[in-house]
Amino acid sequence: MSFAQAFPGDPSVDATLAAAHKLTRDEYARVVSVLGRVPTYAELGVVSVMWSEHCSYKSSRVHLGRLPTTGPRVIQGPGENAGVVDIGDGFAAVFKMESHNHPSFIEPFQGAATGVGGILRDVFTMGARPIANLDSLRFGRPEHPRTAALLRGVVAGVGGYGNCVGVPTVGGELFFDRAYDGNILVNAFTCGVVRTDRIFYGRASGVGNPIMYVGAKTGRDGIHGATMASDEFTAAGPSQRPTVQVGDPFTEKLLIEACLEIFAEDLLIGIQDMGAAGLTSSSVEMAARAGSGLELDLDAVPRRARGLQPYEMLLSESQERMLLVCKPGKEPRVREICEKWELDVAVIGRVTDTGRWVVLATPDYDPLAAAPVARAPIVVCDLPVGFLADDAPKYDRPQGDDPSLPARHAFDPAQIPEPASFSDELLRMVGSPNLGSRRWVYRQYDSIVRGGTLARPGGDAAIVRVPCTTEAGTIDKWLAFTSDCNGRLCELDPYQGGAMAVAEVCRNLVCVGAEPVGLSDCLNFGSPERPHVMRQLARAIDGIAAACRALAVPIVSGNVSLYNETDGRAILPTPTIAGVGQLADVRHATTAGFPDAGLVVVLLGTREAVAGPLGGSEYVAAHTGEVKGLPPTLDLEHEVLLQRLLLDCIRSEPRLVLSAHDVSDGGLAVALAECASNESVAVKDIGAELELPPSKVSLAEQLFGEAPTRVIVTVLPSDFEQLARLAEAVGLVAHRLGISGGARLVLRAGGSACIDVAVEALAAHRRACLDALVGEA
Amino acid sequence: MRAAVVLFPGSNSDVEMIRTLREVMGIPTDVVWHRDTALPPDTELVALPGGFSFGDYLRCGAIARTSPIIGAIRRHADRGGYVLGVCNGFQILTEVGLLPGALLRNEHLRFECRDIFLRTDAEGPFTERRGAVLRLPIAHAEGRYHTDPATLRRLEAEGRIAFRYAHADGLVNASANPNGSLDSIAGIYGGPARNILGLMPHPERMSERLHGGVDGKALFDTLLKTVAGSSNPSTEERRAQVAS
């Protein structure tokens, strides 16, 4: 039995107030029974955020255990602030992807900006210098009245934060579907690099060690952000703006530099970012990981708002704050470094061995007051650490099939009338918001700050040089980054969709010459309280797990975002996968566009998947406005063989494959158009004269079907036979499509041209794909 | 040749500036903190890198202007010492008054990062040949050069407009201007001997093969040539040179 006192002015706590905090009747009963008393108002707030879906993963934890999280390169899997993967020579990549969906829908600029800020802190808190960001974005249909403003706000927010802190944003995704009309997705990814002997963890150990608060002052912003992120929206409207935090990238930049200086001097036991649920979550998690206890003194917390109550200080999600546990005697040096960077710093507590999370504060004490009252702290919270963290509720929620699926699977895309002109159809496709150039977006991101970006946004994956410096000298490492997920395929078959997201991320990395070394997942779904959403989540996890095992690449970090629904309508299930690859040699770097005229253009893939079924494709969605039809399936065995073959052909000396581009959204014709119209002013566009492989399926399916396990590559004419032999030897096929060159992309089927368009027209249509939405780029 | 890169809180393009100077150009380079009050002895080039000094919260460069190091930079510049301000560094130089004019919000109001082409319109310590076209990246939200008509006329008359935004063939017109800059101005010379160069595009981000080109390296190559050609005049000699 513990003892904690109400603060003057606290409302009285009962089951009704608990329900308003989103605690179920059972959950509240458990709190009262474990404490042996009614919790204080501050304790109720703390329990409600720690047990929120966002912090506790209560609906997803039973399933997440099925993900493969280990491997020879894995230094740290899920459970810490970010995952850590060995990249050799004493260095490691530290990375994670996280959602900031709910705040971005309420306030797009700040929501997106603070999403970037939060994931940066998760990464540099482990001792790593952030070197690359990705941003995976989903919006409602382009013609929805809010889409343009949301898009503008989110992109400006991502850029506004990332550009200022000086971390290049090198890629991401942009996708529109009506299913996101009421719930946009903003998934932010950061990768950093750290010396393996200088990795820091979020652990509070060593009785008596000081707990230090560093960074921005605490205000009232973002209170209950984590609880809001665990709730659905209603059409009654976004009225939750006060729950969204406000970002200050300049303070973040100072925080990064200060923390990296502190890390270099070995002054810390542990460190953690104050993210969702702020001071509460960071301190509880640090104590939980170390199996220790904590005592916090709220009177010492730096603040910028008058009259802050304990409840508010504990739940504030003010940004750019870190919690540090110092080594004994190192506190003055930490203070000195923080002061150099003009950051607030204060000792706000001590590590204990009680296993309890104890919070003290003086009633009516306000350091900002003209004459603060004398300090006489009382205990406002006294809770067992485990009760808040590992012992939080865990639910195996009921699952059920999506009743709408059989009818949707039954749709036959052959019902869509054949376009009068496939040339015009291709121009329309490449000029559509989902398939065209993303340059309006990525030009608002500084993708080259720090001077290490080798492959900029617009390709299959970005490549960044990472100089790794030790006392012995500097070794350059080359890391590749990409993210992917096709929510439509996940909706029609969550297992296949999950597996395909993993396969495509890895395929994209291999296409630029990198070997996939680790993944992060950001699982965005609707309400887990609905059985078919729960089934989507469970099946997607199974699909991700199967693909990870087949491709031998682990999930080392991740995040779950549920309740992405409005008025009972859920988003497309969107398990976004972000991937990190490593190039063994910078000479392996490979681009997607046709690099020269006179090369043989080859479709590398399986015999069966020359053409994919159209179910769930952009073509079907464009013509029917719906996500339907039988989706393609992934043959993992062939996928593994394809990726291995492609990487071998890129790494061979002399190099066999000269360019490589993954075939995905929009199918083969769109992929070829992308090869013929690159995004750089420094490279010339080159067309091609091609013949489709013989096929019995419709032309629309051959051109726009989205079957996986296909890559377009170019080789020297003299090398084609060798590539064909290598493919055949592993049961794959190198389909010779034709020769690159000229100013037109010509595609023949059975001898007659079905597509004949100028590359200039393709490029112009791709460039203009967002014009109707946001004006000319 | 010895260089000093000045760091302000919020500078973020220091890494590529230092790397270009030290590793690409082989120039010994010191790093100076904004609270320092003196440059290292023998500093010949002061480089102000890009970034968001003090968050650019008041106005780009407006707070950096008050930093203790500014006095030393001003004295160095007045003596004819070389100063290079890139992006936020250019903005700081205009705020300090070492270069005329101001950098306003881009006409389209967005941050923009992409490669653009520049035509060299003035010869000077960093530029060898008028008419030369360079491809360099821009990365800014506030790069629209502006000044009063009299100053613009003076810049033009004195041949101080170092770079204008152009097409790949060197044609200067509105459609090649990425931010609405007055007279397509991308960079200007200042100082007693054109020893100060401020520009919005980033030469230090186009100095190695991995950047997709080395047009930016040309500026540093030319500076080294200039310094070698001037047979390392002593400060006294340079003062005399400038005074004449």
Q: What percent of chain A has pLDDT over 90?
A: 88
Residue in B16, B95, B142, B204 annotated catalytic: B204
A464: left (phi over 0), alpha (psi -120 to 50) or beta: beta
Asked whether residue A284 carries a pLDDT value surpassing 90, the answer given is yes
Task: Find all residues with CB under 8 Å of A145, minimum gap 6, and list them.
Answer: none
Q: What are phi and psi of B164, to 5 degrees?
A: -125, 145
Summarize the confidence of residues A459-480 as an average pLDDT.
95
A160/B111 touch (CB, cutoff 8 Å), yes or no: yes
Whether the CB of B213 is below 8 Å from some CB of chain A: the reply is: yes
Q: Provide CB contacts within 8 A for A32, sequence distance 6+.
A: A38, A39
Q: State how far the Cα of A27 lies from the Cα of A23, in Å rounded to an integer.
A: 6
| Parallel, antiparallel or unpaired: strands A74-76 and A83-88 | antiparallel
The angle subtended at Cα A713 by Cα A711 and Cα A716, nearest 5°, is 160
Give the whole-angstrom CA distance, residue B189 versus residue B129: 15
**DSSP assignment string, A579-642:** EEEEESSGGG---SS--STTPEEEEEE-SGGGS---TT-HHHHHHHSS--SPPP---HHHHHHH
- Asked if B205's CB is within 8 angstroms of A163's CB, the reply is no
**Contacting residues of B for A341, CB less than 8 Å apart:** 9
What residue has token string 């944003």? A169
Question: Is the confidence at residue A464, as pLDDT, over 70?
Answer: yes
Nearest to A504 by CA among A721, A665, A628: A665
Chain B residues inside the 8 Å CB shell of A253 = 9-10, 12, 52, 55
The residue among A502, A680, A666, A473 whose CA lies nearest residue A591 is: A680
Of B9, B113, B135, the CB nearest to A341: B9
For residue A751, what pLDDT band results from cuts at 50, 70 and 90? confident
Residue A300 has pLDDT above 60, yes or no: yes
Q: Above 80 in pLDDT, residue B38?
A: yes
**Whole-angstrom distance, CA of residue B35 vs CA of residue B47:** 16
> How confident is residue A638, by pLDDT bands cut at 50, 70 and 90?
very high
Strand partners, A211: A325, A349
Q: What average pLDDT does the segment A179-199 reach?
A: 97
Whole-number Å distance between alpha carbons of A395 and A57: 9
Substitution target in B113, B140, B205 with the highest count of A β-carbons within 10 Å is B113
Which pLDDT score, from 0 to 100, does residue A69 have? 97
Helix axis angle for A494-511 and A531-551, nearest 10°, is 40
* Rounded CA separation B242/A553 (Å): 64
pLDDT per position as a tens digit, A543-571: 999 999 999 999 999 999 999 999 989 99
In 10 A of CB B213, how many CB atoms? 18
DSSP class of A359: E
Q: Report the DSSP beta bridge partners of residue A558.
A: A521
Rg over alpha carbons for chain A, rounded to the nearest Å, is 27
| Mean pLDDT calculated for residue range B155-182 | 97
CA nearest B33 in A: which residue? A340
Within the 39-58 window of chain B, which residues sit less than 8 Å (CB to CB) from chain A? Answer: 50-52, 54-57
- Per the annotation, the verdict on B204 as an active-site residue is yes
Say whether residue B137 is in contact with chain A using an 8 A CB cutoff.
yes
Residue B239 has pLDDT above 70, yes or no: no
pLDDT in tens, A674-727: 999 988 888 889 999 999 998 889 999 999 999 999 999 999 999 999 999 999
ipTM of the complex in this document: 0.94
Percentage of chain B beyond pLDDT 70 is: 94
Stated as kind and residue range, the H or E segment containing A34 is helix A25-35
Residue A433 has pLDDT above 60, yes or no: yes
Confidence of residue A236 (pLDDT cuts 50, 70, 90): low
pLDDT interval class at B230 (50, 70, 90): confident
Tally C-beta pairs within 8 A across A and B: 99
pLDDT reported for residue A227: 63
pLDDT at A238: 43
Say whether pLDDT at B64 is over 80.
yes
- Indicate whether B232 pLDDT > 80: no
The residue to which tokens 């376009």 are assigned:
A419
What is the reported pLDDT for A223?
78
Please state which of the ranges A10-14, A138-142, A227-231, A261-265 shows the lowest mean pLDDT.
A227-231
pLDDT for the residue A225: 63
- The residues of A annotated as belonging to the active site are 54, 100
Whether A448 sits inside 8 A of B112 (CB atoms) is no
Evaluate whether A65 touches A107 at the Cβ level (below 8 Å): no
Question: Among all chains, which residue has been given the structure tokens 């990249």?
Answer: A87
Encoded tokens for B73 = 């930079």
Do you find a cis peptide bond into A398, omega within 30 degrees of 0? no
Is residue A509 a contact partner of residue A65, using CB atoms and an 8 Å limit? no
Has residue B234 got a pLDDT over 60?
A: no
pLDDT number for residue A750: 87
Read off the amino acid at residue A643.
Q
Cα A542 to Cα A54: distance, rounded to the nearest angstrom: 21
Please name the residue of chain B whose CA is at the shortest distance from the CA of residue A777.
Answer: B108
Residue linked to tokens 């093969």: B209
- For the segment B145-166, the average pLDDT, to the nearest whole number, is 98
Cα of A770 to nearest chain B Cα, Å = 15
Question: Which are the contacts of A239, defined by CB distance < 8 A and separation ≥ 6?
Answer: none
Of A237 and A487, which is predicted with more confidence?
Answer: A487
Q: What is the mean pLDDT of chain A?
A: 94
Q: CB contact, 8 Å: B211 with chain A?
A: yes
Confidence (pLDDT) at A3: 87
Quick one: which of A179, A249, A259 has its CA closest to A536? Answer: A179
pLDDT (0 to 100) of residue A242? 58
CA dihedral A107, A112, A118, A121 (to 10 degrees): -140
Tell me what pLDDT residue A276 has: 79
Q: N- to C-terminal Cα distance for chain A?
A: 64
| Per-residue pLDDT at A362 exceeds 80 | yes
Work out the average pLDDT over B44-53: 97
| Share of residues in chain B with pLDDT > 90 (%) | 91
* % of residues, chain A, pLDDT over 70: 97
User: Which positions in chain A touch B9 (Cβ < 8 Å)?
Assistant: 250, 253-254, 341-342
Decide: B64 and B11 in contact? Cβ < 8 Å. no
Cross-chain residue pair B111–A159, CB shorter than 8 Å: yes
Question: A504: which residues sit within 8 A by CB, 6+ positions away?
Answer: A484, A486, A577, A662, A664, A708
CB A629 within 8 A of CB A623: no
Please say if the pLDDT value at position B236 is more than 60: no
Nearest to A450 among B15, B168, B212 (CB): B15
pTM of the model: 0.95
State pLDDT tens for residues A93-127.
Answer: 999 999 999 999 999 999 999 999 999 999 999 99
Strand partners, A322: A214, A273
Instruction: Give the residue from B18, B58, B111, B136 with the most A CB atoms within 10 Å of its CB, the best one to mutate.
Output: B111
As a three-state string, the secondary structure of A527-583 is CCCCHHHHHHHHHHHHHHHHHHHHHCCCEEEEEEECCCEECCEECCCEEEEEEEEEE
